[in-house]
Amino acid sequence: AAAGGALAHLGDPRGADALRRVLRAWRSDGRGYAVATVGALRLTSLADEVARLADRPRGVDPDTLRVALSQLAPLSAAARTALERLAPGSPSSAPDPRSTLP
């Protein structure tokens, strides 16, 4: 993820490809860093990938996801919609009912 972020920062298209692989990977290692990097660099080519994580964060810290989506929202309709789904009080932001089981 770090190498992808560095390449993307330099404008190399291989950086976005590397970040995309981390965002889609089965393992969550580095996914939070990739989400933060996509938001910070405002990589609109990956906004849909980050927006998909709003429904199933897959190991990404919710606050990191919110920040990244808020950075992408002015540039991406998908990010705006995903950010609205994460807003307090929205059905997708409700706690998992299984977490209240004894």
Please tell me the predicted confidence (pLDDT) of residue 72: 96
Query: How much is the pTM?
Result: 0.80
Q: Residue 99 domain-assigned?
A: no
Distance separating alpha carbons of residues 102 and 80, to the nearest angstrom: 36
Question: What range does the domain containing 75 cover?
Answer: 2-90
Q: Residue 98 domain-assigned?
A: no
Query: Locate tokens 């933060």: which residue?
Result: 36
pLDDT band at 89 (very low <50, low <70, confident <90, very high): low
For 11-71, the DSSP string reads T-HHHHHHHHHHHH-SS-TTHHHHHHHHHHHT-GGGHHHHHHTTT--TT--HHHHHHHHHH
Q: Residue 19 domain-assigned?
A: yes
Q: Residue 50 domain-assigned?
A: yes
Instruction: Give the chain's domain count.
Output: 1
pLDDT band at 28 (very low <50, low <70, confident <90, very high): confident
Summarised one tens digit per residue, pLDDT across range 7-22 is 888 888 888 999 999 9
Summarised one tens digit per residue, pLDDT across range 31-59 is 999 999 999 999 999 999 999 999 888 88
